[in-house]
Structure 1
Amino acid sequence: MTSPARPGSGDAWTVDDLQDLPEDGQDYEIFDGSLLVSPHADVRHGAIANRLRRLLDRQAPPGLFVGQDVGVSAKRSSYFVPDLFVAHEDALERGGPALAPADVLLVVEVVSPGNAGRDLVLKRHEYGVAGIPRYWLVEPRKQTVTVLEHAGAGYRESAVLSAADTYRTDTPFTLVLPVADIF
């Protein structure tokens, strides 16, 4: 088994370096030039992300795209792949290795027990500094959705929703979300 191509000693990882990594069941992201490796999400995690994607996709207006498996460059030396995102559709036509934060209206992370700190602290900070307007944290164990809105250089909590709630909002588009439907 050969080891994956890596930047030279002392060099930072870039999005381009990720292309040379194997398809080995791991998820790769970059924070400040350092490679982050996580096991691929489990079935329940994927099911929750897919249910939420379908609910958002049905209500998204023309010109907005609800997607998965596309990275966001939080800043020049960081690259994250949210479980879901809502972006301007024309940003997808430009191509490139990652979406720019200015094109992303919402990122969603389904919190995994094994790397909860990454979603709850690291990504919250990085997405906030990047100026992404909305960040949702879906917590399967608690069956909650925490809605965060950009404020200054970070986020403020605007709602914590339980499975008994129906979330109604006009941002990033007019949406009615029965929270129980994603769990």
Structure 2
Amino acid sequence: MTSPARPDRGAAWTVDDLPDLPDDGQDYEIFDGSLLVSPHADVFHGAVANRLRRLLDRQAPAGLLVGQDIGVSAKRSSYFVPDLFVAREEALDRGGPALDPADVLLVVEVVPPGNAGRDLVLKRHEYAVADIPTYWLVEPRKQSLTVLRNVGGVYREAAVVTGTEPWHSETPFPLELPLSEIF
């Protein structure tokens, strides 16, 4: 097993270091210059994310893209890869190592049972400070969706969605979301 390539001793990790990391089944993110390593999500986690993506894709208007596997970086020393995002489509044409948060309208995290703190605390704070307007926390074990809206750099709970009735929202675009099609 090889170790990830490290920046010079004492130097912080940045998005520029990401291409040098091995393709070893781990997920790599960066928080404030520190490398965060997580095992790749399990099948159920991926199924929930993909079902939600299909629902959002069907309803997204032209000019907005529902995506996965692309990172968001507010600064060179922090980089997170949400399970899903909605961004302005032209942002993807610019290239680069990560999306600029100014182009991201929504980030979605499917909360894993073993590492919930990263999504519930760390990413919640970082996405809010980066001024991403909306953050969804999908909790498969609770079969719930928590909708957070950015108010002055802090997320405030706007809704907790459970049950069988479809949820309607105008943000990030007009949509109807039946949770029964996700879990």
| Residue 41 (structure 1) shift | 0.2
Q: For 1:115 and 1:74, how far apart are their aligned partners in 2?
A: 22
Instruction: Report the Cα distance in structure 1 between the residues aligned to 2:5 and 2:26, rounded to whole angstroms.
Output: 15
- Please state if 1:96 is matched with 2:96: yes
How many percent of aligned residue pairs carry the same amino acid? 78
Q: Secondary structure at the match of 1:19?
A: helix
1:146 maps to 2:146: yes
2: CA distance, partners of 1:180 / 1:114 = 24
- The residue correspondences of 1:42-121 to structure 2 (distance < 5 A) are 42-121=42-121
Q: Is the 8 A contact 1:129 1:153 kept in 2?
A: yes
- Secondary structure in structure 2 of the residue aligned to 1:126: helix
Letter of the aligned partner of 1:113 in structure 2?
P
Residue 10 of structure 1 corresponds to 10
Q: Alignment partner of 2:116: what SS?
A: helix
Quick one: distance in 1 between partners of 2:10 and 2:2?
21
What is aligned with 1:159?
Answer: 159
Once the two structures are overlaid, the 10-residue window that deviates more, 163-172 or 136-145, is 163-172
TM-score normalised per structure 2:
0.97
Aligned CA distance change for structure 1 residues 2 and 16 (closer, same or farther; 3 Å) = same
In structure 2, what is the equivalent of residue 123 of structure 1? 123
Runs of 5+ in structure 1 lacking a partner?
Answer: none
Q: Secondary structure at the match of 1:113?
A: coil
Structure 1 runs (4+) greater than 6 angstroms displaced: none
**Residue 32 in structure 1 maps to residue 32 in structure 2:** yes
Contact 1:74 1:80 in 2 (8 A): no
Aligned length: 183
- TM-score scaled by length of structure 1: 0.97
Distance 1:35 1:119 in 2: 16
Q: Which stretches in structure 2 are left out of the alignment for 5+ residues?
A: none
User: What RMSD, in angstroms, separates the aligned Cα atoms of the two structures?
Assistant: 0.9
Structure 1 distance, partners of 2:89, 2:50, is 19
